[in-house]
Amino acid sequence: MEVDCAYYNEASPCWVFIYREDEKAYRLQIGFSRGLPQMLAQSIGKTLLYYRQFPSTDDGLAHKLLLENLSSDSLHQRILRTNAQLNNLLQEFRLPDVNDLRQ
């Protein structure tokens, strides 16, 4: 379980996400982050299967709790509704290349 509550702010946007440690792992991890860049930086080498943004921390934590209490089958079905091919959704985000930052 990952929760970033260092600076709890009820009105702060946040993200809830589901990932696998690697392509062959079957165990899913459910995470929570108040910032997309931090979540992406921590996701190197992981397979992001699902993500959703919430306008408030309370809404995000409530959704995370819901996901944690779903059966494995229900969780898998929720992922398939938004990511039918189980692609690594990290590819949807373009992070700046280190060489681009040096220029």
Residue 9 belongs to a domain:
no
- Work out how many domains the chain is built from and give that number: 1
In a domain, residue 41? The reply is yes
4 domain residue, yes or no: no
pTM score, whole prediction:
0.75
- Angle at alpha carbon of residue 83, lines to 49 and 59, rounded to 5°: 65
H or E element, residue 30: strand 28-33
Structure tokens at 41: 């930086």
**Looking at the domain assignment, is residue 2 inside a domain?**
no
Condensed to tens digits (0 to 9), the pLDDT of residues 9-65 reads 566 688 999 998 876 767 899 999 887 766 676 667 788 899 999 999 999 999 999
| Domain-embedded: residue 8 | no
Domain that holds residue 58: 14-102
Is 6 inside any structural domain? no
pLDDT tens digits, one per residue of 54-85: 999 999 999 999 999 999 999 999 999 999 99
Going 91 to 94 to 95 to 99, the CA torsion angle's sign is positive
For 59, residues 6+ apart whose C-beta sits below 8 A from its C-beta are 14
In a domain, 7, yes or no: no
DSSP H/E element including 18:
strand 14-20
